[in-house]
Structure 1
Amino acid sequence: MALTGSRILVVEDDSVTQMRHQGYFQQAGYQVTAVSNGAQMRAAMAEQEFDLVLLDVNLPDEDGLQLTRELRSESAVGIILVTGRSDSVDKIVGLEMGADDYVTKPVEMRELLVRVKNLLWRISLAQRPANEMPMGNELYFAGWTLNLGNRHLCREGVDVRLTTAEFELLAAFARYPQQVLARERLLNLVSHRVDAPDDRTIDVLVRRLRGKMEKGEGLPKLFVTVHGEGYLFGTTVTS
């Protein structure tokens, strides 16, 4: 599960923290490149592909949250935000921008390693060729097809790219259609995403799914808010 050899880009302006992260993950068997700012990050990503980015929110030249949005708009690379900010609002904004996970300093390196391993494993599953996936693993609803094996979502032949968190939440909804699911239950059905996940984590992911699956002519409303209780996936699902 370690997926040793995976390429990690550390974006961190503090030289001590940068060296610690680089050395720690190199010892764990990963290929690690370390840079200090947004400009160097873009240059590194133009030279080679990375599997995961450890991104400091507080960079000297650019806001790490805006860099997260930029990264997510261009690729499906794994993103873990690392920051000294402890405000839960910043965590929610980080998820809104498309981050997969969020940890606060001081970082426990063993915990960060586990988070990196888990995210890389989920990304590797999503990238496996379709012919390696078990058959009969597709769900159909409201014109959409969701393949639980290769994590592809499509409608009328058009693929919709989902982050790992978005896929996991959509799969949870599709497994329990037309049932009211409390936010707490949805949190339990989705992989642990941040230091202290709360109800707003689910709200953020639902908004992201709505933006991809409900915004457009002819697209049905799927995610129904049940005030005071949670959400309901308002369609039938077949397999």
Structure 2
Amino acid sequence: MKRADQVLIVDDDGEIRQLLSVYLEGAGYQAHVAAGGEQMWQVLASTPVDLIILDLMLPGEDGLELCRQLRARRDIPVIMLTARGTLVDRIVGLEVGADDYLPKPFDPRELLARIKVIIRRARSFPEKHEADRIATIHFNGWQLDTRARQMRSPQGVTLSLGSSDYLVLRALLDHPQRTLSRDFLLATVFGKESLPFDRAIDVCISRLRQQLGDNPRIPNLIRTIRNGGYLLNADVAYQA
């Protein structure tokens, strides 16, 4: 019999821990709970956790610090929860390694949908020790050579990429079928917060669409998500 996916809920609010654990177990998951970092590490020492739901506002070491520590030690997907839903919080949470971000209050059905997607994505992605050896990424008939930073079209034509265009494309390929905000891409690629009229990411997206033959008026491969950002609409495969 296939084991149930193991989800660890780290939140100092006992009511939230109880409600989420009951809801997730009703959906077929095995739920574990922790009130803070110390209990989280105790659970991880004895349980093969598949995903962590991590509250940002924890006493002692907060969720951001715990997420940094997790990324240094483990390769477990993290969904960050917080009552602070500001743009800066979302960007910082994603930058320290969270796979997704959900502000409180939230609909448990939305959280469940995100858990399913992230666990499925994590299992399709190479293990961390293999990631640095990825030489080629395949998507929509294209091949990206990560060492030469060149793309090869389905017709066999090789195209070179500028540094910023490559980094934007790589971010999209690392998070397929997921909306990435302009602010997150700007911080990831250029290491800065966005300004009201900063169109650097939009320019990169425009160049990528042109090279990939993605109709800029009705793009299908790199989609514009209204009030969200950009999404890579393709299955992705990795080759060492």
Identify the TM-score tier after normalising by the shorter chain. 0.5 to 0.7
Name the residue aligned to 1:133: none
The Cα of 1:181 is off from its aligned counterpart by: 5.0
Q: 1:201 aligned to 2:193?
A: no
Name the residue aligned to 1:218: none
The Cα of 1:192 is off from its aligned counterpart by: 5.9
Name the residue aligned to 1:123: 122
Which AA in structure 1 matches 2:189? Answer: V
Q: What is the aligned-residue identity percentage?
A: 31
The Cα of 1:204 is off from its aligned counterpart by: 3.5
Name the residue aligned to 1:213: none
* Structure 1 spans left out of the alignment, 5+ residues: 129-142, 150-169, 209-225, 234-238
Task: Give secondary structure in 2 for the equivalent of 1:77.
Answer: coil
Instruction: Work out whether residues 100 and 193 of structure 1, in 8 Å CA contact, stay in contact via their aligned partners in 2.
Output: no
CA distance 1:24–1:230, change in 2 (3 Å): same
**Per-residue displacement from partner, 1:173-205 (whole Å, max 9, x unpaired)?**
8657527859999887744657xx521211343
Distance (whole Å) between structure 2 residues aligned to residue 28 and residue 177 of structure 1: 46
Q: CA RMSD in A?
A: 3.7
Name the residue aligned to 1:42: 41
TM-score, length-scaled by structure 1: 0.62
Task: Give secondary structure in 1 for the equivalent of 2:92.
Answer: helix
Q: 1:87 aligned to 2:86?
A: yes
Instruction: Work out whether residues 7 and 31 of structure 1, in 8 Å CA contact, stay in contact via their aligned partners in 2.
Output: yes
Which AA in structure 2 matches 1:98? Answer: G
The 5-angstrom pairing of residues 1-239 of structure 1 reads 5-126=4-125, 145-148=134-137, 177-178=160-161, 181=165, 190-191=175-176, 197-206=180-189, 229-230=203-204
Name the residue aligned to 1:223: none
Distance (whole Å) between structure 2 residues aligned to residue 202 and residue 84 of structure 1: 23
Distance (whole Å) between structure 2 residues aligned to residue 174 and residue 112 of structure 1: 37
Distance (whole Å) between structure 1 residues aligned to residue 30 and residue 114 of structure 2: 17
Which AA in structure 2 matches 1:146? Answer: A
Which segments of structure 1 move beyond 3 Å, counting only runs of 4 or more? 173-177, 179-194, 204-208
**Per-residue displacement from partner, 1:9-32 (whole Å, max 9, x unpaired)?**
000111111111111111111111
CA distance 1:95–1:55, change in 2 (3 Å): same
* Structure 2 spans left out of the alignment, 5+ residues: 139-145, 152-158, 192-199, 209-239
Task: Give secondary structure in 1 for the equivalent of 2:135.
Answer: strand
Which AA in structure 1 matches 2:204? Answer: G
Instruction: Work out whether residues 57 and 83 of structure 1, in 8 Å CA contact, stay in contact via their aligned partners in 2.
Output: yes
